[in-house]
Chains A and B, each alone.
Chain A
C-alpha cells in the first residue's frame, strides 16, 4: 500500500466523520420528542352568561 492510497483512506475517514456529525446534528434538530414530557392540564374556556344567572336567581 503506497502513501497515496493511505491518503485516500484517511480522507475517506475524515469525510465520513464530517458526514456523521452533520447527520447527527440534523437528527437532533428534527427529532419530534425530546426527553421533556410534561402533562399539560386541560383547562377549557368557561363563560358565564350573567343573564342566565339573573333569570335563575329570580326563580323560586
Chain B
C-alpha cells in the first residue's frame, strides 16, 4: 500500500505533453495552409482597393479637367481660329513676307534688301519657335511710323527686334531715311 502511494506521487509529477504537442502541430498546419492564404488574400485585396480608389480619384480629376477644357473650347470655338492665324503651326514664311511687303508698298517703304535668318524646321522642344526677317530699305519718317503701326496691327504676331535708322550723308531735310530692321515672327 505504501509502495503504491509512493508510485502515484511520482506519476503525478510527470506532465504529459502529448496533447499540447499535437495541438501545436495541427494548429501550425491549419495556420499555414488554412488561415495564411486567406489572410494574405484579404490584405492584398484591401491594398488593391486602396490603390484603385486613388486611381479612381485621379481619373475623376482628369475627367473634370477635360470637361473644363471642353467648356472653354466650346465658349471660344469661333475665336480660336484667330490664335492659329496669330501664331501659325508652321513657319509660313511666305505669308509673313507677303504681309510685310503689302504694308511696305502701302506706306512707301522701299525695301532694298530682305533676307531670312535661320529657321529651325526640326521639331524642337521649345514651346514656340521664331523666324527672323532682316530688312533694309528707305522711307520717309512718317511713312515708316505708319509701317510700324501696320506691323503691330497685323494679326500674325511680329516683333521688331532691332531697328537702325540712319540719315544719308549730304542729305536734305526731305530726303529718305536709311532703315534696317529685324522683324521676328513666331510659330509653334
Q: Contact check, A13 vs B28: say whether CB atoms are below 8 A apart.
A: yes
**B62 and A43 contacting across the interface, CB-CB below 8 Å:** yes
B17 near A14 with CB under 8 A, answer: no
Task: Assign chain B's interface to a size class.
Answer: 35 or more
- Considering only CB atoms and an 8 Å cut-off, how many residues of chain A contact the other chain? 32
B40 on the A face (CB < 8 A):
yes
Q: Is B10 on the interface with A (CB-CB < 8 A)?
A: no
Report whether A36 and B51 are in contact in the complex, using a CB–CB cutoff of 8 Å.
yes
In the complex, the answer to whether A56 meets B69 with C-beta atoms within 8 Å is no
Asked, given contacts A14-B24, A43-B62, A59-B154, whether A53 binds B55 with beta carbons under 8 Å apart, the answer is no
Q: Which residues of B contact A28 (CB under 8 A)?
A: 40, 43-44, 47
Contact of A3 among B18, B28, B36 (CB under 8 A): B18
B43 touches A3 (CB 8 A): no
- From B78-86, B111-119, B173-181, give the one contacting chain A: B78-86
Q: Report how far A31 CA is from B79 CA in the complex, Å.
A: 50
CB pair A48 B24 closer than 8 Å = no
Most chain A CB within 10 A, of B16, B21, B39, B83, is at B21
Given contacts A10-B25, A40-B55, 10 further A-B contacts (CB under 8 A): A4-B17, A10-B21, A14-B28, A25-B40, A28-B47, A29-B43, A43-B62, A56-B79, A56-B155, A59-B86
Interface of A toward B, CB cutoff 8 Å: 3-4, 6-7, 10-11, 13-14, 17-18, 20-21, 24-25, 28-29, 31, 34, 36, 38, 40-41, 43, 45-46, 48, 50, 53, 56-57, 59-60
